A and B are shown apart, each in its own frame.
Chain A
Amino acid sequence: MKQDKAEILEQLELIFQDTFTEINHTFSIDMARDDIEEWDSLSHIRLLTAIEAGFGVQFDLDEITNMNNVATIVDLLSEKLQ
């Protein structure tokens, strides 16, 4: 399924809202791990699973350790969904 980055971002926002109970900043492509207090190593795993299930993709170990901001996640997803 081909999706452009805007669509990916839109769907990603829902997943973020589902995973984190409090997102103080407005969700945007510029958001990073430091902006969400709840985004620690364990909720990272919850986020990972939610994204994998939501988009039907799988990330490898290297990608998991690097996906620390929304922009990277969008790039990775856009690549996988080509």
Chain B
Amino acid sequence: MHDLPWLLKPTDNFNERCSMLASHKEPVREILALANCALTINQSNRLYRAIQKLSAEIRAVLYGTLTPFKLGIVSNATMDLITPPLVTAAMRNGVNLEVIIADFGQVAQEALDPASKLNQSKLDAVLLALDYRAYSFFAKDSAPFEGKSSHKAFSYLQQIRESFTNNGGMICITQTLACPPYELSGNFDAQLDGMLRRSITEFNLTLANDVRNSADVMLDVSTMANMVGTCQWFDERQWYTSRVPMANTFIPFYAEYLTKLITALRGKSKKCLVLDLDNTLWGGVIGDDGLEGIHIGQGHPIGESFLAIQHWVKTLKELGVIIAVCSKNEKNTALEVFQKHSGMLLQEEDFAVFIANWEDKASNIRRIAEILNIGLDAIVFVDDNPAEREIIRTMLPEISVPELPKDPSQFLGILCAARYFEKIDFTADDAQRNAQYASNFRRQEIQKTAPSLEDYLISLEMHIRFAPFDEMGRKRVVQLINKTNQFNLTTYRYTEAEVLQFEESDQNITFQIHLQDKFGDNGMISVVICRINGDCLEIDTWLMSCRVIKRRVEEAVCDELVALARSKGMHKLRGFYRPTEKNKLVKEHYPQLGFEFAYSNDSGEVWELSIEQYQKRNPPIKVEKSSVIV
């Protein structure tokens, strides 16, 4: 998997295309097309250098299409080879990555000194690229085979993590350790305390448990090394000559997986999996082969290959990925497979949207995005047919379309390895997501029959709940802050550490907002962060999940904000609108709520509302509880 088989191979004239970038008609489109390929380390190096030579204007346009992220790297090894593969992999995943690498071997110095390069760089995250050689598993002062040597190693890592968090305010990307293929006593290495294999196993498990409950995240290098085989992963010649930590062939693979994690930190993991049917979820063509002729289920090698894919889809659904179908078929013929074939694991109700018709797939996928109210860049489309893949890639370049070989037994490995749905967290909302989308459809059904929008909203029996940020909700708050694009007035992104600061500061008032209706609990759907500035309450962040748009929730929130300001004797609300590519939806948000335009500056518009003159909106939403105003 280290050669990224889910991506297209670069064309034969790749080098030429890199050197022609400056004179290309659409250089940004061309750069993204090149970065989107499975590049070797030499190819990413070439593309990286070609981009650096472009004019500042072109680069500004390129970076404008990407989400910025500033990453520091410390390591006990040489990491300089990684910058080009990492930056190009980030582009492929929608991120403009700025990489700052600490000087060789300066791990502790960088962490402990508040004035160090990394601590001073206002990083979004620091990668602790430490392999097993960074830790004192074989400390001189401890007798071998006594006690757990992983404790010492782990407490060293904890010290580094805490120092960066305290001194630099960034989150840490930690690494599990790949275990080198050297053994002393064979099978017994896993059993005897103090043996490297056992120590590394303990270390990795301790780390995973610890990170799960912290703001930091974990890059599972051990799993990467296992995927390619540790005999291949470690190349001692490269370590001894240049301190390269693993064979450099694998650097693009490492860079891609690191990027997936960064993408997830920015809330840009994919949200929706759109599947073809024939030869993608079962073997054969239902329209030609009929129910008896297709292969799906136990007892047939082809049928079992596709059953494995269905298992994967089902698990993704449980993890919160939205599942949809887009197939060229008669709808009833296609549905019959789900209803009548005993080998099928997936059922019709597993899909949020099911489109089977003879229209072109690009239009159908656009429609799916509209129905679900998600961006095209949040969609992965899986189709066994190279022609269909090609059309979608051309018509909708924002969509991720994995390459697949002919052999269906290979599909699952490739789809998994592409890591489209990288998670850094699992919230209660994730577990309920598909149920929420399903009830959304029932809500839409009612909308069709309800006489007016107002009646519809009343019929929903909505209940809203306001609470300040707290530990229980923090992860979901961070998730919303980092992935909400459309209903987001300022689109400020904050890390968990920053969210905690808002939570604890007495200069800030925070709101997590939950909405319930007769179809179920929508969970946390809105977040507001206010700042106290004299007699004025300034709204730093106001965002809302698209699931509850057009339900007058924002009016209920505004009523609450005004009530809060009144209770504190304040006279004004001040809101900011920072326009982005994606938040045109809320352009009229403040005027619609009665705010008056104050002025605009480089970053956007400033709107103000006089508390005295505010007319309470009273939308048909019952305030169940507010623990913010006390």
A69 interface hit (Cβ, 8 Å): no
Q: Is the CB of A45 within 8 A of B81?
A: yes
> Which of A13-21, A28-36, A71-79 touches B?
A13-21
Q: Which of B15, B49, B50, B244 contacts A45 (CB 8 A)?
A: B244
Q: Which of A49, A61, A64, A65 contacts B248 (CB 8 A)?
A: A49
Q: Is the CB of B15 within 8 A of A42?
A: no
Q: Which of A17, A50, A61 contacts B237 (CB 8 A)?
A: A61
Q: Is the CB of B81 within 8 A of A21?
A: no
Q: Is the CB of A45 within 8 A of B46?
A: no
Report B238 CB to chain A, min CB distance, Å: 5
Q: Is the CB of B248 within 8 A of A45?
A: yes
Tell me the complex Cα distance, A42–B237, Å. 13
B240 interface hit (Cβ, 8 Å): yes
Query: CB-nearest residue of chain B relative to A63?
Result: B237
Report A45 CB to chain B, min CB distance, Å: 5
Q: Which residues does chain A contribute within 8 Å of B78, judged by CB atoms?
A: 42
Q: Which residues does chain A contribute within 8 Å of B50, judged by CB atoms?
A: 21
Q: A17-B15, A46-B81, A49-B247 are in contact. Are A41 and B241 (CB under 8 A)?
A: yes
Q: Is the CB of B49 within 8 A of A21?
A: yes
A44 interface hit (Cβ, 8 Å): yes
Q: Is the CB of A45 within 8 A of B242?
A: yes
B41 interface hit (Cβ, 8 Å): yes
Q: A42-B78, A46-B248, A49-B249 are in contact. Are A19 and B42 (CB under 8 A)?
A: yes
Q: Which residues does chain A contribute within 8 Å of B240, judged by CB atoms?
A: 61
Number of interchain pairs (Cβ within 8 Å): 45
Q: Which residues does chain A contribute within 8 Å of B247, judged by CB atoms?
A: 49
Tell me the complex Cα distance, A75–B247, Å. 25
Tell me the complex Cα distance, A46–B251, Å. 11
Q: A17-B15, A18-B15 are in contact. Are A46 and B238 (CB under 8 A)?
A: no
Q: Which residues does chain B contribute within 8 Å of A65, judged by CB atoms?
A: 241
Report B18 CB to chain A, min CB distance, Å: 8
Query: CB-nearest residue of chain B relative to A58?
Result: B237
Query: CB-nearest residue of chain A relative to B80?
Result: A42
Report A82 CB to chain B, min CB distance, Å: 22
Most A CB contacts (10 A, CB to CB) among B42, B45, B46, B242 go to B42
Query: CB-nearest residue of chain B relative to A44?
Result: B242
Tell me the complex Cα distance, A19–B244, Å. 17
Q: Render A54-65 as a binary contact track against B, CB cut-off 8 A, 1 for contact.
A: 000001110011
Q: Which residues does chain B contribute within 8 Å of A53, judged by CB atoms?
A: 249
Q: A17-B15, A18-B15, A21-B49 are in contact. Are A46 and B42 (CB under 8 A)?
A: yes
Report A53 CB to chain B, min CB distance, Å: 8
Report B241 CB to chain A, min CB distance, Å: 6
Q: Which of A17, A18, A21, A45 contacts B238 (CB 8 A)?
A: A45
Q: A19-B42, A46-B81 are in contact. Are A41 and B242 (CB under 8 A)?
A: yes
Report A72 CB to chain B, min CB distance, Å: 16
Q: Is the CB of B46 within 8 A of A46?
A: no
Q: Is the CB of A45 within 8 A of B42?
A: no
Report B244 CB to chain A, min CB distance, Å: 6
Q: Which residues does chain A contribute within 8 Å of B238, judged by CB atoms?
A: 45, 48
Q: Render B69-81 as a binary contact track against A, CB cut-off 8 A, 1 for contact.
A: 0000000001011
Q: Is the CB of B242 within 8 A of A50?
A: no
Tell me the complex Cα distance, A56–B240, Å. 22
Q: Is the CB of A46 within 8 A of B15?
A: no
Tell me the complex Cα distance, A48–B235, Å. 12
Query: CB-nearest residue of chain B relative to A62?
Result: B237
Q: Is the CB of B241 within 8 A of A46?
A: no
Q: Assuming A46-B45, A48-B238, A50-B42, what are 5 further A-B pairs, CB within 8 angstroms?
A: A42-B80, A44-B241, A45-B241, A46-B41, A61-B240
Interface residues of A (CB under 8 A from B): 17-19, 21, 41-42, 44-46, 48-50, 53, 59-61, 64-65
Q: List 21 A-B contacts (CB under 8 A).
A: A17-B15, A18-B42, A19-B42, A21-B46, A41-B241, A41-B242, A42-B78, A42-B80, A42-B244, A46-B41, A46-B42, A49-B247, A49-B248, A50-B42, A53-B249, A59-B237, A60-B237, A61-B237, A61-B240, A61-B241, A64-B241
